[in-house]
Structure 1
Amino acid sequence: MCEMTRDRLRDVFAATASSLLLLPLLLLPAVVGSSADNVTVFRCCGRGEMLDPTDVHGPCALLPTTLPPDFVPVIFDVTSNQFLNPNEPPPAYWNLVHERPPCRPAMFLPAAIPHDAPRFVSFLNGTLLAQHWPKNLMVDPGLYCLDRAGALVCLPDEPNKTKKCCGPSAVYSETNGGCEFSGRHDTADLPEDITSGFPRCDDDAYILSGRINESHWPVSGVWPAGGQLRTADGGTLQPREYCLERVLEDTQEPRTWTVFTCAPRHGVDHVTKSYREDIRFTLYPLGLLLSVFFLAVTLVASCMLPSTYHVLHWKCQVNHVGCLLVGDLCLAFVQLSGDSLRGPLCVFTAIVMHFVFLAAFFWLNTMCFNIWWTFRDLRPANLDKGQEACRLRLYQLYAWGVPLVIATLAAVLDRIPPDQYMSLIRPKFGEHRCWFYGDAEVLSYFYGPIGILLMMNLTLFAATARELTCGLWRTEVVKSTSERATLGRVCLKLVIVMGITWVVDVLSWVIGGPDYVWYLTDLMNALQGVLIFIVVGCQPQVWMAVRRMWCLRTDNPSDGGNARSSTSNAMPSTVNESTLSKPVE
């Protein structure tokens, strides 16, 4: 077939299936004369079998009993400008042979994708027109096999171009040991002239040898035309020696490209640790469980303070700590479960975490507002019980209601079929992990709202700090060094309340970079329950309550602190620290 005809076919195939009406004009000179010759076409599986959708390169799976056992490929006849009847056998000169194409691994093209053009079309002469990203190819018989699920196609070797291992709309699954269709066209940070396919290895053995910008770097610091990679041991990988792909089970954020190479070559003596062997996924769950314990102790300490438990600040704090406790417990469960947590339970856990972590941030916001309200006036009036109860109900309506609306909206949108309302950003709970699918989803439903809340909290902190450092210093209220030290401690606790570690955590998500740069902040976030206990649970009032319980000591009412409104003249004896740990990737 002449190159002119091939190029024109590639342009036609990029359009919808209706473009097939033009194929007779394009293909007639090339295929009419050869249609009567015997044609040998490979079928990927035998009678009563089909490719396993979870592992297309593995053994064939048994065909569902609802489908006929004999597979009839879809064939387009350019002379009649129509497809052959799928209920009739192929032409007599077609010889269907059960065999896979000679390349390993072959590229998988799904048979049909909703609202998209067909991925391949076979013709009477045995030629296959394959939609191979970023261009379309004409594939000769013997270099592909057909199946109900799709086609396995051998791709031409393009040694000077970087490859995406699984093609444009698929990712690699360590669990299944192969590519899985994702439906998401992800080529972020890759060269414009990238193609697809695995490197050609003699023994078909591949290893996940590292990640871009962690163990492998573009030679020039950016993607050069040649696509060479520099390895950690000083070696160089040529484009034909590696491919890049996302790994389905890789939960780190920001998502990076994993480098696949032939094993063992290029100075790689061992396989780079997978996500399951990463030290972070051992330390973080332990830190989260430790946080859960200390958060539970903090709640118990709050309940041991009958003289201050009814104060508005403490009630907000109990709700905040309770949300963090449930969220950290779910997050530790997800981290410890690893790949075994899938399906409805994974989705349910993600929805619960989304709601409780959002609620924790909204309760933090109410505490920041309440603290600002306390110090906005140097001598505010006390609230009676009715006013305090009314304000608490407003806080509850805000701190529970808004997260419930956001989480419910996300859960409802997540149930919308992917082929409907494609402009909407669906959370895609459980598709990549037991959390949001990727950056766009987590930004829309989680980081976006909490970013707004953190900005509000920082604004409230600035206003509160101004009152403390400017207003009170100029009055006669604070004169002694001890009183000034108390104000300094209040300011320090307010900084912790505003969630500085969460601000750093969001920056780590935005800026990215090597994981080890952010290990310390991530670990601090995992241990935030311990920090909350130190700030909240280790207060003099708590120790007094413990002594009263265990020593049966009768204290003077002034020892435990008189019950007061959160807007009293006296400064609160404790201010909550409330940094929160985000889900780890």
Structure 2
Amino acid sequence: MIISMPFLLLTFLVYLLLPERNLHRRALMSYVFTLLAAYITLVTIQLYSGQFPDTTCHVLGYLIIFFFLVSFFWMNVMCVDMWLAFSGMRTFLSKKTAERKRFIIYCFYAWGMPIIHVIIVFCINQYGNTAAGYHPQIGVKRCFLGEGMPTFYYFYLPMAILIGINITLFVLTTVRIQKIKRETSMLKQTDSRRHTYEDDKQKFNLYLKLMFAMGINWITELVSWAVDFAFSNTPTFVWYITDFTNAMYGLLIFLIFVAKKKIWRSLKKKFVWIIYAKKVSTGGNNEHSSNIRLT
């Protein structure tokens, strides 16, 4: 997980510096940022376990649930947006103003749903029956959900549901793409429509790679939890596999979204423009200074 963090940070910074910041890039930045925040919070708890006051311990536990869940909802947002693009329901939202409105709606959804979830967990943890199997047990033995079913109910289950929805959306989108390919009318469309289609298809391929990497990562995480829950002595290799997938996930995101010629060309273009603007500004100032001295 610590290995993933620098690559997540680099991915976020690169997209922050890119000149064009469309909805696709904003959603990806939100996903990477919240995943990085979740990793930082989790690593902090793991490194300094038992050293936090009770209040801080509880807050960190809720933050882990919140940031991980927000990252999953942003992944869901990207899947929904791709499905809307190929289903034809997004054509009326192609303008930038409409795209901003859509992003605001996505923000309310991706941040609002986890907030509601955390509030529910908080209320059950504070006022629920502590002896019940559904009690979250945050802060009882560790600064996170209790081991066993509480972790499943309030952490893995919501994420598994979102992964299932995302897989369904990817299947539906794939079917739609194949249908569009078979339609001969597609060849008669204008260049701008074909260009939009190709752009959306490229984004879909990127999201598919991201979804595959995330699926492998969280399937191993869920399997390791299930093995640990079922057996008293969990085989060491299970944790090695989980640690490896966690370590490689940030690198995979970096390779999928940053290690591309198009991204580097955009960065190069931006920095060349900045250098040129500075030279023009400096030249103008020097000319102005020389004029002052001459007078």
- With the shorter chain as reference, the TM-score category is 0.7 to 0.9
For residues 294 and 517 of structure 1, the distance between their equivalents in structure 2, rounded to whole angstroms, comes to 24
The DSSP-based 3-state class of the residue aligned with 2:135 is coil
CA contact (8 A) 1:493 1:535 kept: no
Structure 1 residue 324 displacement after superposition:
0.6
* Runs of 5+ consecutive residues of structure 1 not aligned to the other structure: 1-287, 556-585
Structure 1 residue 402 displacement after superposition:
0.9
Q: How does 1:158-173 map to 2 (within 5 A)?
A: none
Q: How does 1:477-492 map to 2 (within 5 A)?
A: 490-491=204-205
Structure 1 residue 554 displacement after superposition:
9.4
Per the alignment, residue 182 of structure 2 pairs with 474
* Runs of 5+ consecutive residues of structure 2 not aligned to the other structure: 188-196, 229-233, 277-295
Q: Aligned match of 2:215 in 493, 500, 523? A: 500
Structure 1 residue 355 displacement after superposition:
0.6
For residues 527 and 377 of structure 1, the distance between their equivalents in structure 2, rounded to whole angstroms, comes to 35
CA contact (8 A) 1:291 1:529 kept: yes
Deviations 1:424-460 (A, max 9, x none): 7221112222211122111221111111111100100
Matched, 1:326 2:40: no
Counterpart amino acid of residue 504 in structure 1: T
Q: Aligned match of 1:302 in 1, 15, 25? A: 15
For residues 59 and 51 of structure 2, the distance between their equivalents in structure 1, rounded to whole angstroms, comes to 15
For residues 360 and 491 of structure 1, the distance between their equivalents in structure 2, rounded to whole angstroms, comes to 19
Distance 1:489 1:541, change over 3 A: closer
Deviations 1:332-380 (A, max 9, x none): 1122224434633222211111111111111111111111111224994
> How large is the RMSD of aligned CA atoms in angstroms?
3.1
Per the alignment, residue 6 of structure 2 pairs with 293
Q: How does 1:147-546 map to 2 (within 5 A)?
A: 288-307=1-20, 309=21, 311-341=22-52, 343-377=54-88, 380=91, 383-416=94-127, 422-423=131-132, 425-468=134-177, 470-475=178-183, 490-491=204-205, 493-497=207-211, 499-501=214-216, 502-512=218-228, 514-546=235-267
Structure 1 residue 388 displacement after superposition:
1.9
Counterpart amino acid of residue 320 in structure 1: Y
Distance 1:516 1:489, change over 3 A: farther
Distance 1:508 1:407, change over 3 A: same
For residues 381 and 416 of structure 1, the distance between their equivalents in structure 2, rounded to whole angstroms, comes to 47
Distance 1:295 1:492, change over 3 A: closer
The DSSP-based 3-state class of the residue aligned with 2:2 is helix
For residues 527 and 338 of structure 1, the distance between their equivalents in structure 2, rounded to whole angstroms, comes to 24
Structure 1 residue 490 displacement after superposition:
4.7
For residues 379 and 322 of structure 1, the distance between their equivalents in structure 2, rounded to whole angstroms, comes to 26
Distance 1:554 1:517, change over 3 A: same
CA contact (8 A) 2:137 2:146 kept: yes
Q: State how many pairs are aligned.
A: 258
Distance 1:472 1:330, change over 3 A: same
Counterpart amino acid of residue 451 in structure 1: A
For residues 442 and 401 of structure 1, the distance between their equivalents in structure 2, rounded to whole angstroms, comes to 21
CA contact (8 A) 1:461 1:494 kept: yes
CA contact (8 A) 2:206 2:257 kept: no
Deviations 1:97-153 (A, max 9, x none): xxxxxxxxxxxxxxxxxxxxxxxxxxxxxxxxxxxxxxxxxxxxxxxxxxxxxxxxx
Q: How does 1:89-104 map to 2 (within 5 A)?
A: none
CA contact (8 A) 1:296 1:325 kept: yes
CA contact (8 A) 2:82 2:204 kept: no
CA contact (8 A) 1:548 1:554 kept: no
Structure 1 residue 412 displacement after superposition:
2.5
Distance 1:507 1:464, change over 3 A: farther
Larger radius of gyration: 1
For residues 33 and 206 of structure 2, the distance between their equivalents in structure 1, rounded to whole angstroms, comes to 23
CA contact (8 A) 2:170 2:208 kept: yes
Normalized per residue, which structure has more strand?
1
Distance 1:507 1:290, change over 3 A: closer
Larger RCO, structures 1/2 (Cα 8 Å, 6+ apart): 2
Counterpart amino acid of residue 404 in structure 1: I
Distance 1:378 1:365, change over 3 A: closer
Structure 1 residue 491 displacement after superposition:
3.9
CA contact (8 A) 2:8 2:250 kept: yes
CA contact (8 A) 2:206 2:256 kept: no
TM-score by length of 2: 0.76
CA contact (8 A) 1:547 1:553 kept: no
Deviations 1:148-170 (A, max 9, x none): xxxxxxxxxxxxxxxxxxxxxxx
Distance 1:348 1:378, change over 3 A: closer
Distance 1:418 1:295, change over 3 A: same
Distance 1:430 1:423, change over 3 A: closer
Distance 1:317 1:491, change over 3 A: closer
For residues 378 and 418 of structure 1, the distance between their equivalents in structure 2, rounded to whole angstroms, comes to 46
